[in-house]
């Protein structure tokens, strides 16, 4: 892992400062990470062009993005590191640097970025030109399409490859239009990386589409029936929506992993996304541990806003699930209606054939034709029911789970802060005892520990405030998006219903004279 370690994004100039760290610190705490390492991350040489900036049009949150296996090396530095190197062009920002702490079960030391003060400027490693370009206003302009599902390979090792096409005028990308081939596990890998980086600091990372063993097995086995084509289409649409949502997020858009996903022709296989891999099992263990922890954390919510939001999202979740179930039932029944209408159409045609009164016979045949057309109509409507309405609801149910996850992270963050305070108190008590016992050597150590924990408490408080702030912003953005999304989708859905009714009118208007013509 050390071999693949990437230098921190703050540039080479930082490295000499590493030596100033205490020997006792483990700089490369192996985070028991569920991520695979990203060996194809850019080399140091290309670092200056790495764009780790906020979108100048988006919120002014400044943060430093770390890849998990690139440990940030300022763990518990007793010496404040100088961030004001001359070659860097600081971007002034009112926000403090958030601490990015990979949450793992065995973290002993949490590596993080330390800023000198709350109002310290955030350091980006970028060239001057790029900064100016951004200042000129890159309009948020990126369009993603997922298309052309193609089966690759045979038997149980087969998989579907999807074409991901990006059209953009953003300068951070090398070209304006490009496309790559990706498979489903690649998408899951991307989400996994983004989630590990951003979720625990309060960013709502859009969830990836769900795995489906049944669906994929059918495709692998090579069943060319309508259910497997439907499955592939459902997945394709879901992947497209997933990417579109992810790039809409101004912070995530800046992420190098996302860019690599969209641009690189070759992507390392994300094996750790498989359910039964070692990483997969670890994920499950972590999830269980989290669930237990959640139950035991009793947080004194001092901020009514969060309490309110928690409740709101709980309610929204419940209602969306109900609505989703109803819409799914509607899809099912409309498909049934379509099938039954088709059956009736055939039956009416047969009846028309055996009817010996000519005019009635013709009218019955016409009725059969009308019903056949109506059956088609029902099918299309069911299609719209599903892809427009039902899938939106499904997406939002998963998104709300991500929001709830982020709120949980905040609780954990609070817990950590509280724990640090408790530990600090204990250390102080221990020190007091040592004072009385008069053991000078141990006393020094105790004093050092107190200092250490005081810092941790401060950091804990800062982290908590930061995550709270980020979440507020994120929730605000999320709500705006939600409103926009729902309005657009529901209007689109209603328009599909309008279309259906208009067609129905056409068909019955054509039939009426035929019925009247029966003599």
Partner 1 sequence: MTTALTEIKHLPTLILLVCCEYLAIFKKTVAMHEVFLCRVAAHPILRKDLNFHVFLEYNQDLSVRGKNKKEKLEDFFKNMVKSADGVIVSGVKDVDDFFEHERTFLVEYHNRVKDASGKSDKMTRSHKSVADDCNRIGSSLYTLGTQDSTDMCKFFLKVSELFDKTRKIEARVSADEDLKLSDLLKYYLRESQAAKDLLYRRSRSLVDYENANKALDKARAKNKDVLQAETTQQVCCQKFEKISESAKQELVDFKTRRVAAFRKNLVELAELELKHAKGNLQLLQSCLAVLNGDT
- Residues engaged in binding partner 1 (CB under 8 A): 312, 315-316, 319-320, 322-323, 326-327, 329-330, 333-334, 336-337, 340-341, 343-344, 347-348, 350-351, 353-357, 359-360, 363-364, 367, 479, 482-483, 486-487, 490-491, 494-495, 497-498, 501-502, 504-505, 508-509, 511-512, 515-516, 518
Considering the complex, what minimum distance in angstroms separates the CB of residue 491 from partner 1? 6
Instruction: Name which of 264 and 326 has its Cβ closer to partner 1.
Output: 326
For every residue of 96-111, DSSP letters joined together read PPPP-----TT-SS--
Which of 193, 200, 202 minimizes the C-alpha distance to 255? 193
Closest approach, Cβ 354 to partner 1, in A, equals: 5
Q: How far is the C-alpha of 4 from the C-alpha of 482, rounded, in Å?
A: 40
Report in angstroms how near the CB of residue 326 gets to partner 1 at its nearest.
4
Selection from 492, 263, 499, 512 nearest residue 370 by Cα? 512
User: In the complex with partner 1, which residue's Cβ is closer, 315 or 425?
Assistant: 315
Residue count of the chain: 519
Of 284 and 494, nearer to partner 1 (C-beta) is 494
Region of residue 33 (phi > 0: left; psi between -120 and 50: alpha; otherwise: beta) = beta
Kindly tell me which of 239 and 345 has the beta carbon lying closer to partner 1: 345
Question: Is the distance from CB of 63 to CB of 37 less than 8 angstroms?
Answer: no
Q: What is the CA radius of gyration of the chain?
A: 29
Answer for the pair 463, 417: CB distance below 8 angstroms, yes or no: yes
Nearer to partner 1, 22 or 314 (CB): 314
What's the CA gap between 412 and 245, in Å, rounded?
A: 27
Residue 357 C-beta: closest distance to partner 1, Å: 5
Query: Minimum distance between the CB of residue 335 and partner 1, rounded to whole angstroms?
Result: 9
Taking the complex as a whole, how short is the minimal distance between the CB of residue 221 and partner 1, in angstroms? 32
Q: How far apart are CB 366 and partner 1 at their closest, in Å? A: 9
Instruction: Kindly tell me which of 116 and 322 has the beta carbon lying closer to partner 1.
Output: 322
CB-neighbour burial class of residue 355 (10 A; exposed 0-12, middle 13-18, buried 19+): middle
Q: Tokens 């998990």, residue?
A: 68
Q: How far is the CB of 299 from partner 1 (least distance, A)?
A: 22
Closer of 389 and 464 to partner 1 (Cβ): 389
Nearer to partner 1, 297 or 491 (CB): 491
Rounded to a whole number of angstroms, the minimum distance from the CB of residue 395 to partner 1 is: 16
Question: What DSSP designation does 61 have?
Answer: -
Q: Name the residue nearer to partner 1 (CB basis): 160 or 363.
A: 363
CB 409 within 8 Å of CB 199: yes
Nearer Cβ to partner 1 (114/395): 395
Burial class (CB in 10 A: 0-12, 13-18, 19+), 250: middle
Q: Is 174 exposed, middle or buried (0-12, 13-18, 19+ CB in 10 A)?
A: exposed
- Distance from CA of residue 61 to its chain's centroid? 18
DSSP string, 146-208: EEEEEEESSGGG-EEEEEEEEEE--TTSSSSEEEEEEEHHHHHHHHHHHHHHHGGGT--PPPP
The CB-of-484 to partner 1 minimum distance in angstroms stands at 9
């Amino acid at each position: 892992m050390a071999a693949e370690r990437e230098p921190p994004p703050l540039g080479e100039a930082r490295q000499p400062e590493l030596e100033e760290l205490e020997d006792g610190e483990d700089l490369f705490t192996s985070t028991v990470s569920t991520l695979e390492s990203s060996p194809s991350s850019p080399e140091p040489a290309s670092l200056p062009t790495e764009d780790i900036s906020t979108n100048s049009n988006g919120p002014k949150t400044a943060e430093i993005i770390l890849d998990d296996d690139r440990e940030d090396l300022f763990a518990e530095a007793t010496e404040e590191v100088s961030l004001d190197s001359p070659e860097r062009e600081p971007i002034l920002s009112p926000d403090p640097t958030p601490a990015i702490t990979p949450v793992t079960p065995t973290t002993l030391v949490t590596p993080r970025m330390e800023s000198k003060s709350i109002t310290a400027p955030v350091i980006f490693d970028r060239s001057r030109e790029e900064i100016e370009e951004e200042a000129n206003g890159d309009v948020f302009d990126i369009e993603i399409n997922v298309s052309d599902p193609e089966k690759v390979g045979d038997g149980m090792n087969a998989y579907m490859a999807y074409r991901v096409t990006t059209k953009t005028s953003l300068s951070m990308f090398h070209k304006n239009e490009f496309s790559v081939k990706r498979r489903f596990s690649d998408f899951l890998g991307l989400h996994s990386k983004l989630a590990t980086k951003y979720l625990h600091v309060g960013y709502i990372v859009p969830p990836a589409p769900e795995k489906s063993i049944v669906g994929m097995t059918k495709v692998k086995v090579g069943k060319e029936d309508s259910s497997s084509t439907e499955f592939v289409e459902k997945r394709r649409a879901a992947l497209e929506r997933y990417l579109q949502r992810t790039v809409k997020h101004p912070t995530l858009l800046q992420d190098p992993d996302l860019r690599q996903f969209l641009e690189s022709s070759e992507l390392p296989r994300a094996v750790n996304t498989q359910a039964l891999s070692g990483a997969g099992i670890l994920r499950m263990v972590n999830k269980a541990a989290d669930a237990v922890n959640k139950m035991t954390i009793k947080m004194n919510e001092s901020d009514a806003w969060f309490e309110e939001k928690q409740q709101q999202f709980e309610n929204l979740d419940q209602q969306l699930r109900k609505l989703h179930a109803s819409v799914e039932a509607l899809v099912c029944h409309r498909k049934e209606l379509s099938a039954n209408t088709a059956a009736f159409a055939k039956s009416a045609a047969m009846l028309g054939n055996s009817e010996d009164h000519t005019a009635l016979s013709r009218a019955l045949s016409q009725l059969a034709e009308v019903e056949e057309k109506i059956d088609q109509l029902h099918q299309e409507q069911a299609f719209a029911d599903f892809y427009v309405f039902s899938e939106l609801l499904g997406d939002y149910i998963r998104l709300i789970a991500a929001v709830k996850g982020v709120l949980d992270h905040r609780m954990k963050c609070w817990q950590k802060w509280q724990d640090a305070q408790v530990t600090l108190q204990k250390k102080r008590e221990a020190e007091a005892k040592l004072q009385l016992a008069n053991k000078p050597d141990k006393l020094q150590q105790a004093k050092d520990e107190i200092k250490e924990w005081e810092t941790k408490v401060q950091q804990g408080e800062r982290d908590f405030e930061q995550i709270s702030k980020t979440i507020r912003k994120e929730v605000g953005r999320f709500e705006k998006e939600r409103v926009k999304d729902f309005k657009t989708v529901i209007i689109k859905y209603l328009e599909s219903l309008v279309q259906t009714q208009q067609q129905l009118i056409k068909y019955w208007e054509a039939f009426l004279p035929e019925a009247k013509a029966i003599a």
